Each structure stands twice: as C-alpha cells, then as structure tokens.
Amino acid sequence: MTNTLTLPDSLTAVQAAVADALGIDEAEVVPEATLLGDLGAESIDLLDILFRVERATQVKIAVADIAALLQGGIPDEEFGDENEVVNDTGLTHLEKVLPQFDRSQLTEPLTADGVLGLFTVQNLTDLLTERAAATAADAA
C-alpha cells in the first residue's frame, strides 16, 4: 500500500479503526464526533485506535503527535496557568489547529485535561492525511 492516502481514504480508515476499537457502528463515527466525549473512548482506546489506523494505512501516529498538534510546541507555562487552565495563548492556538473549536462556546474554563476531549474524528483524519503525505514525500 502506498502512503498517498486521500482524505476519503483516510476518513474510511479512521472510521473503521474507531468503530472496531470501541465496538460501535461505523455510522456513529461521524467526522464531527469527539473521540473521548461523543464516542466514549478512553486513553487506552486511543492507543488501540492509533494502532488500528497504522495497521490499515502503514502510517504511524502516536498520542504524542496529537499532543504536539494540540499544544503546538507552546511551553506548558505559556499554554495554561498554574491550575492547568488553558489561557488566551492556548485558546488562540486551539482555534487555529481545531477548526471546530470556538472559545465563545465554552461554558467553563478549559483545562489541560479537557483539551484532548476536543479532538474529533475529522482532526484525526486530517492528521493522518498530512502524515501520509509527509511520509510519501520523504520516500520520494
């Protein structure tokens, strides 16, 4: 299999991996669903999902890759405060990397633990597509 996945291929691979890992119907794995919130995944499930995606696509994505995307290399002390509440710098970055995120919709302060809960099926699909393209470019 080549590493030139198209977005529809990536979405199909992610949907199958999520459905298999969580034991749910693929129809529930819609792009806007959050993995940890809407679909009920736990952190161990996330590892299983990433393993299944890699097995199906030959593209490796680690939890650290997701964390790097979400935090964008911003040091912890600049991303949030001493109580692990995401500050303006962190919220601005999240709005850039998570198209669905709108800070005006927050009803309470966003904590560092809550950030991963924002990650959707579409975000994983986009990350997979980007990673596949980079892998293909490196191989060329």
Lowest-pLDDT range of 66-70, 77-81, 101-105, 136-140:
136-140
**CA–CA distance, 83 with 7 (Å, rounded to integer):** 38
Residue with tokens 């995606």: 53
- 76 — pLDDT class (breaks 50, 70, 90): very high
Q: Tell me what pLDDT residue 138 has.
A: 83
Report the pLDDT averaged over residues 1-28: 85
Quote the pLDDT of residue 140.
76
Return the ∠ at Cα 131 (arms to 125 and 30), rounded to 5°: 5
Using one digit for the tens of pLDDT, what is the confidence trace for 78-129? 999 999 999 999 999 999 999 999 999 999 999 988 999 999 999 999 999 9
Angle separating helix axes 7-22 and 121-139, nearest 10 degrees: 120
Per-residue pLDDT at 14 exceeds 70? yes
